[in-house]
Amino acid sequence: MSEDYILSVKGISKSFGGLKALVDVGFDIHAGEVYGIIGPNGSGKTTLINCITGFIKPDAGGQVFFKGKEITGWPPHKIADMGITRTFQIMRPYHSLPAFKNLIIPLWSPRAKTTGGWRGGGKHGDRDTVAVDILEEIGFERDSRVPYKIASTLPTGYQKRLELARCMAMRPEIIFCDEVFSGLSMSEIAGMLPLLEKLKMEGITLIMVEHRLRELFRVADRVMALNFGEKIAEGLSHEVIEDKRVKEAYLGSEKV
């Protein structure tokens, strides 16, 4: 039914007790697209990611299709095994391991073993070397001590990159980026943008949840806006930002 899209989400709802976090949200994404999800705090962006990646079970009725195959309600590791992975808003690296050892885990995963993972690191044995290679690609200076530092001691910018690297290592088809720009300085964001471009070039579909609209609009092809769990607008970025309801959601209603 929806083979043209790499991911299509239909009618996802989720309520926690009385609170409706998501109401009938749906969208479709083409392969290789960069899709942005925006919305004020508490509008349900992260809940949406959690529902799609399997960390939370959506309420009955919602459906998620990956390449035409229904994956609704699958456990997270199976969804990740299909090639849908995610970063976390609150960075949680494997804090007791050195940065490059953090990548051993995705490189060891069943998916990386079958697909080879990034640069084939999951197949041929020397995962340590591949892990350092990936870190270099993502902006860790190879000859510094940075890749060998314990992950929890790294500065925020590096930890955000590490989150992305952990996703890359699996060679996924879709990456959900949960606020990768938040907490970064302007120069760090400037360093991050080419990285995202590069992932796009590699043919990876990116779905980005963001607060930093200006930076998001530089990379995103299409944008969806959420407010109080409902989809209020979707389209090209300038269309969405001009949308009346989006303005209201961010700035408040005009008629007070």
Confirm or reject binding of residue 76 to other proteins (CB under 8 A): yes
Confirm or reject binding of residue 81 to other proteins (CB under 8 A): yes
Other Cβ atoms less than 10 A from the Cβ of 116: the count is: 15
Which residue, 81 or 215, has its beta carbon nearer to other proteins?
Answer: 81
Stretch that binds other proteins, among 26-34, 61-69, 70-78, 207-215 (CB under 8 A): 70-78
Confirm or reject binding of residue 90 to other proteins (CB under 8 A): yes
Which of 2, 20, 55, 197 binds other proteins (CB under 8 A)? It is: 55
Residue 2: burial class (beta carbons within 10 Å; 0-12, 13-18, 19+): middle
Confirm or reject binding of residue 108 to other proteins (CB under 8 A): yes
Which of 30, 141, 148, 253 binds other proteins (CB under 8 A)? It is: 148
104-107, long-range: CB within 8 Å, 24+ apart, which pairs? Answer: 104/128, 104/131, 105/166, 106/166, 106/167, 106/169, 106/170, 107/131, 107/169, 107/170
State in angstroms the smallest separation of the CB of 96 from other proteins: 6
Give the length of the chain: 256
CA distance 172 to 84: 6
State in angstroms the smallest separation of the CB of 214 from other proteins: 28
- Closest among 216, 213, 226, 252 to 40, alpha carbons compared: 226
User: How does DSSP assign 194-216, residue by residue?
Assistant: HHHHHHHHTT-EEEEE-S-HHHH
CA distance 246 to 235: 12
Confirm or reject binding of residue 161 to other proteins (CB under 8 A): no
Confirm or reject binding of residue 96 to other proteins (CB under 8 A): yes
Which of 6, 22, 38, 170 binds other proteins (CB under 8 A)? It is: 170
State in angstroms the smallest separation of the CB of 224 from other proteins: 21
Confirm or reject binding of residue 53 to other proteins (CB under 8 A): yes
Tell me the CA end-to-end span of the chain in Å, nearest whole number: 45
Confirm or reject binding of residue 80 to other proteins (CB under 8 A): yes
Stretch that binds other proteins, among 87-95, 188-196, 222-230, 231-239 (CB under 8 A): 87-95
Confirm or reject binding of residue 141 to other proteins (CB under 8 A): no
Find out whether 39 and 212 touch, Cβ atoms under 8 Å.
no
CA distance 83 to 67: 11
Stretch that binds other proteins, among 66-74, 103-111, 205-213, 244-252 (CB under 8 A): 103-111
- Contacts with other proteins by CB under 8 A lie at 16, 46, 50, 53, 55-56, 75-78, 80-81, 85-86, 88, 90, 92-98, 101-102, 104-112, 127-128, 145, 148, 166-167, 169-170
